[in-house]
Structure 1
Amino acid sequence: MVTAVSGGARSHDYVLRRLEPTGRQALTIPLLAVPSALAAVRERVALHCAAWGSRGLGDIAALCVSELVTNVIVHVGEGAPVSVRLSWTGGGHARLAVTDPAPGAVPVRQDAAGPDAESGRGIALVDALAARWGVERHACAKTVWCELAEP
């Protein structure tokens, strides 16, 4: 069973929820990758984790989703269509996945961004916060995902 919940007229306010086998609902947010959407996406992800009973996980997931969507804005292009999905995998872990339409623009962890660098820390931050992360390439898209553990 699928239910749609609309929180407003903007495209990044549309939320689709589906019942997961674990009994915890997944969250899917289709949006356009624009800076003005970041705060709403962070808030939705954090609130969803809180509904699962995990506020600490919500803080981590909100930070990671912000970094992953920002990567799309910077490296794929502002306004690219994106899908954010947060699902419970069990065992105290959640999976956060961001799908965009650019299979060739694969993120790479940079080991040493200089102290004055304005970019280059996003994937390193995700790597530090996540139990693991990766990239799945599809024919016309890619998904960057991370597995997050409850603190």
Structure 2
Amino acid sequence: MRSKGIAMSARARPVVARLAPVVSAAVAYRIPSEPRSAGWARRELRRLLRQWCVADELACTAGVLVSELVANAVRAQAAVDGAWVGVRFVLADGGGRLRLEVRDGSAEEPVVKDDVEEDAECGRGLVLVDALASGWGVVPDGIGKVVWAELAVVGAV
């Protein structure tokens, strides 16, 4: 059978013109260990969450969490020139759980501070993480550590 200008075998089947984009459920980055990296990680996470169809309210909460985790990682290795921070975002359990992981080269474990001065510039980050996340923790990795936080997700793709 011939159509205008296109020759096809009788056994040929038409090819799908466009494939739907495949969205990965886990993404990892290596970013510079500098204060502006927290903003970059937050923006990248928001972009991914839009692709994963995660609700805006949850995306805002996740943005606060990743900002705090990256800022803490940068602060933890402030004295190390050329240091980097590893960031990993995972939509797990069929889209029912969002896991945020931040790796740094400092073996010092983060501590939730209960007695932060009212006018202190820092020290409240992990209090926020503890209040907003479904769970969080620290995993030593031989050189440094991975600090993770999770959120329950409803309705993601």
TM, length-normalised to structure 2: 0.74
8 Å Cα contact 1:72-1:80 kept in structure 2: no
More RCO (CA 8 Å, sep 6+): 2
CA RMSD of aligned residues (A): 1.9
Pair 1:69 & 2:70 matched: yes
Q: Indicate the larger mover: 126-135 or 29-38.
A: 29-38
Residues 17-75 of structure 1 deviation map (CA, whole Å, 9 limit, x = unaligned): xx8xxx75212121012112222211001111121111322211211111111112222
Pair 1:36 & 2:39 matched: no
| Alignment counterpart, residue 101 of structure 2, candidates 65, 83, 97 | 97
Aligned residue pairs: how many? 129
Q: Which has the larger radius of gyration?
A: 2
8 Å Cα contact 2:74-2:85 kept in structure 1: no
Pair 1:118 & 2:121 matched: yes
Query: In structure 2, what residue type is equivalent to 1:140?
Result: I
Identity of aligned residues (%): 36
Bigger proportion of residues as strand: 1
Give the 5 Å matches for 1:6-21: none
Pair 1:27 & 2:31 matched: no
| Structure 2, gaps ≥5 residues long | 1-21
8 Å Cα contact 1:133-1:146 kept in structure 2: yes
8 Å Cα contact 2:37-2:70 kept in structure 1: no
Query: In structure 2, what residue type is equivalent to 1:51?
Result: Q
8 Å Cα contact 1:32-1:81 kept in structure 2: yes
SS in 2 for 1:35: coil
| Alignment counterpart, residue 134 of structure 1, candidates 114, 134, 137 | 137
Deviation at 1:135, TM superposition (A): 0.3
Query: In structure 1, what residue type is equivalent to 2:97?
Result: H
